[in-house]
Structure 1
Amino acid sequence: MQNKKLVITQNLDQILIDKIKVIIPDWDLVIGKEKNIWSEHLNEAEIIVSWKKEIEKMISWNQSKLRWLQAWSAGVNSLPLQELEAKKIHTTSANGVHAYPISETIFALMLALTRKIHTYVKNQQTKKWDHAGLNLELHGKTIAILGIGAIGKETAKIAKAFGMEVIGFRHSGIPEENVDIMYTLQHLNNVLPHCDYVVVTLPYTKETHHLFGTEQFNLMKPSSFFINIGRGSIVVESELINALQDGKISGAGLDVFEKEPLDEGSPLWELDNVIITPHTSGSTEHYTKRVIEDIFIPNLKSYIQGETPAINLVDYKKGY
Structure 2
Amino acid sequence: MSEKRPVVVDLRFARESVVNALRSAFPDRPVVDMGDPANADRDLSDAEFAVVWKPDPALFRRATGLKAIFSGGAGVDHILSAYELPDLPIIRFVDRSLTDRMSEWVVWQCLHHLRNGIAYAGQQQARVWHEIADQPEAREVTVGVMGLGVLGADAVHKLKVMGFDVIGWSRRAKAIDGVVTFDAKGLDTFLGRTDILVGLLPLTDDTRGIYDRALFSRLRRAGPLGGSIFLNAGRGGSQKEAELIECLKDGTLKSASVDVFEKEPLDPDSPLWSMPNVIVTPHAAAASDVRALFRHVEAQIARLEAGKPLEFVVDRTAGY
What's the TM-score, normalizing by structure 1?
0.85
Residue ranges of structure 2 left out of the alignment (5+ in a row): 11-17, 222-226
5 Å-filtered alignment, 1:79-118, equals 79-80=79-80, 83-84=84-85, 87-96=86-95, 97-118=97-118
Partner SS state of residue 313, structure 2: coil
What is the RMSD computed on CA atoms of the aligned residues? 2.5
From 271, 274, 281, the equivalent of 1:267 is: 271
Query: Contact 2:198–2:232 at 8 Å: present in 1 too?
Result: yes
Contact kept in structure 1, 2:232 and 2:257, CA below 8 Å: yes
SS at match of 2:19: coil
Q: Take 2:20 and 2:209, find their aligned partners in 1: how far apart are those partners? A: 37
Given the alignment of the two structures, is residue 193 of structure 1 paired with residue 201 of structure 2, yes or no?
no
Q: Give the whole-Å Cα distance in 1 for the aligned partners of 2:148 and 2:62.
A: 38
Aligned match of 2:297: 296
Whether 1:5 aligns to 2:6 is: yes
Structure 1 counterpart of 2:115, one-letter code: R
1:1-320 matches, within 5 Å, as 4-9=5-10, 10-13=18-21, 16-17=24-25, 20-21=26-27, 25=28, 27-31=29-33, 34-41=35-42, 42-53=44-55, 55-56=56-57, 58-59=58-59, 61=61, 64-80=64-80, 83-84=84-85, 87-96=86-95, 97-124=97-124, 126-131=125-130, 133=132, 135-140=134-139, 141-178=141-178, 180-222=179-221, 223-283=227-287, 287-293=289-295, 295-305=296-306, 307-308=308-309, 310-320=310-320
Q: Which runs of 5+ in 1 are unaligned?
A: none
Seen in structure 2, the aligned counterparts of structure 1 residues 258 and 134 have a Cα distance that, compared at 3 Å, is farther
Q: Percent identity between the aligned chains? A: 25
Q: How many residues align?
A: 303
Deviation at 1:221, TM superposition (A): 2.5
Letter in 1 for 2:240: V
Q: Take 1:78 and 1:171, find their aligned partners in 2: how far apart are those partners?
A: 21
Report how far residue 227 of structure 1 moved. Answer: 0.6
SS at match of 1:40: coil
For 1:212 and 1:132, the matched residues in 2 are separated by: 33
TM-score when normalising by structure 2:
0.85
